[in-house]
Amino acid sequence: MSKKTILVTGGAGFIGSSLVDKLLLEGNKVIVIDNFNNFYDPNIKEKNIQPNLNNPNYLLYRVDIREKETINAIFKDNHIDVVIHLAACAGVRPSIENPELYQEVNCNGSLNILEAMKNNDVRKLVFASSSSVYGNSKTFPFKETDQVDFAISPYAATKKANEVMGHVYHSLYGFSIAFLRFFTVYGPRQRPDLAINKFVGLISQDKPISLFGDGTTSRDYTYIDDILDGIKKAMLWVDENEKVYEIFNLGESTPITLIEMVNTIERVLDKKANIDWQPMQLGDVEHTCADITMAKTILGYNPQTPFEEGIKKFIEWLECRHV
């Protein structure tokens, strides 16, 4: 793909900032929208963006996607080729505590992005969805063609709503859209509230970790580099095709149980975890596993990072950061 001007919402966060770094290295111009909210320490996001602030191909807007007029003005003031929409209120459990906020940001905020694209004749979009839309589906592994009408958290419901609204803009206005259902992304810059980051820190310090359930729940953990490769391949696909709409699973297709995840961290750290067992929490799905046939076939997506290797890379990154 030739050099592009790419707008990345949520571009200071874990996935967003990692993606922006790669896009800049490839010679693209990148426009970032992020509101640096306090869902976790905003200083982490400030560190994520620091290396790019003096790059002439990097433009940062500290804006909330709910600010409709400002969002539209950003599109009006810049020539934009492709949008990668990652900004959202994240997390299953917090969405149960504050469903109104998740509806406002994830649905109304995303609608502002779609409207700004329509108003300014931008028609290429990669949109972050989530494996949470599958809920406790009995079909395994999860396929994009599965029925996903049975969400078990407000967060999951907003992501399903995004996919439906995206199809409206594809149908009415000819948008080319790839929705990417991410499966439990981990690696350098991972949010501090997520299990792997949290557990590595606590086990390293010989502090107890809380595990919910009996340890048999499982997740399809996906290393950040594989996710970034999938996003870039999806961007190429929407750029090269007119009026397409598709949903793709981006995972590793290898579920890891909760206790396996902890045991892997123990092996890499060479430390034993002090486990505090707790009952399952509301909204948590029992298992996730991605059927990635469509992403492989259409996008050429091909994850390369086995779980233990990814954990080693993440811990090495943490150790380098703290030197």
Q: Is the pLDDT of residue 299 over 80?
A: yes
Structural domain count, the chain: 1
Contact 19, 52 (CB under 8 A): no
Per DSSP, the residues of 113-138 read HHHHHHHTT--EEEEEEEGGGGTT-S
- Report if residue 259 sits inside a domain: no
Q: Residue 286 pairs with which residues in a beta bridge?
A: none
Could you tell me what percent of the chain has a pLDDT over 90?
94
pLDDT digits 0-9 by tens, 111-167: 999 999 999 999 999 999 999 999 999 888 999 999 999 999 999 999 999 999 999
Residue 40 included in any domain? yes
In a domain, 64, yes or no: yes
- Residue 110, domain CATH: 3.40.50.720
- What's the DSSP call for residue 142? B
Instruction: Confirm whether 277 is domain-assigned.
Output: no
The pair of three-digit structure tokens given for residue 41, joined into one six-digit string: 């320490």
Q: What is the mean pLDDT of residues 71-97?
A: 97
- How far lies 284's CA from each of 48, 92, 136, 200, 297, in Å? 29, 7, 9, 21, 30
Amino acid 89: pLDDT: 97
Would you tell me how many other CB atoms lie within 10 Å of the CB of residue 146?
Answer: 16
Contacts 24+ apart (CB under 8 A), 308-313: 308/264, 308/267, 308/268, 309/223, 310/186, 310/187, 310/221, 310/223, 311/186, 311/196, 311/264, 311/265, 311/268, 312/268, 313/187, 313/188, 313/223
SS3 247: strand
Where does the pLDDT of residue 322 fall: very low under 50, low under 70, confident under 90, or very high at 90 and above?
A: low
Q: Is residue 210 part of a domain?
A: no
Question: What is the pLDDT confidence band of residue 241, given thresholds at 50, 70 and 90?
Answer: very high
13: left (phi over 0), alpha (psi -120 to 50) or beta: beta
The predicted structure's pLDDT at residue 283: 81
> Residue 15 in contact with residue 185, Cβ under 8 Å?
yes
Give the residue carrying structure tokens 């900004």.
Answer: 87
Average pLDDT, the chain: 96
Predicted pLDDT at 68: 98
| 318 is a domain residue | no
Question: What residues act catalytically?
Answer: 155
Taking residues 73-84, report their average pLDDT: 98
Q: Which domain holds residue 45?
A: 5-187+223-252+289-304
Is the model's pLDDT at 323 over the cut of 80? no
Q: Is residue 119 part of a domain?
A: yes
Provide the whole-model pTM: 0.96
- Does residue 11 sit within a domain? yes
pLDDT, tens only, 172-203 = 999 999 999 999 999 999 999 899 999 999 99
Helix, strand, coil % (nearest 5) of the chain?
A: 45, 20, 35
